[in-house]
Amino acid sequence: MVKYLGWQRMPVFVVHLISSVALSLAITPSVMSEQLTEMPNSSSPANAQVYFLSPTNGQVFNAADSESIAVEFGLNGMKVSPAGPAVPDSGHHHLLINMNELPDLTKPLPASDQVLHFGKGQTSTRIQLPPGSHRLQLVLGNHIHIPHNPPVMSKVIEIEIK
């Protein structure tokens, strides 16, 4: 006979199991950070390349068009795969927007307005940018968002919104 906890209707043994797992996984952020710094990059084939199919370097957009700029990613020498499962010679795209310097390529790329993650394996997106010059770059990340070794990165392209 399974005993239930009042209104939750969850078996007691499940509650104990969940509590045990939660306690065993309870690690402080500093311990997690230390563990992340020790994670190795996934290796990348020598011929791997990531690049922009669109837009092109130097492309100029009218401010009216900047509401939704199509960005398409290309990849050669590797496969696109979503974040999560470790798949050799594969990764997913990260779009860097107006980055003055690269993030630490030995750690998971941080998600922000300047570092967009495509962890579901997407190969295109639409972005909105204000008038001005903008720099775009692609970086391929492994199943846990860490760039490969050597990093698979596109050249920086510049676009302008007038």
Q: What CATH code is carried by the domain that includes residue 92?
A: 2.60.40.10
Number of domains in the chain: 2
- The reply to whether 88 and 152 lie within a common domain is yes
* Same domain, yes or no: 99 and 140: yes
- pTM of the predicted model as reported, rounded to 2 decimal places: 0.75
| Residue 42 located in a structural domain | no
Pairing of strands 90-97, 79-80: parallel
pLDDT in tens, 130-161: 999 999 999 999 999 999 999 999 999 999 99
* Residues 74 and 141 occupy one common structural domain: yes
Helix (H) or strand (E) holding 35: helix 29-37
Structural domain that includes position 24: 4-37
Q: Assess whether pLDDT exceeds 50 at residue 73.
A: yes
Domain co-membership, 21 together with 54: no
pLDDT top residue among 158 and 62: 158
Residues 82 and 135: beta-carbon distance below 8 Å: no
- Tell me, yes or no, whether 113 lies in a domain: yes
- Confirm whether 74 is domain-assigned: yes
Tens digits of per-residue pLDDT, 4-60? 333 344 444 333 333 333 333 333 333 334 444 445 568 999 999 999 999 999 999
Confirm whether 91 is domain-assigned: yes
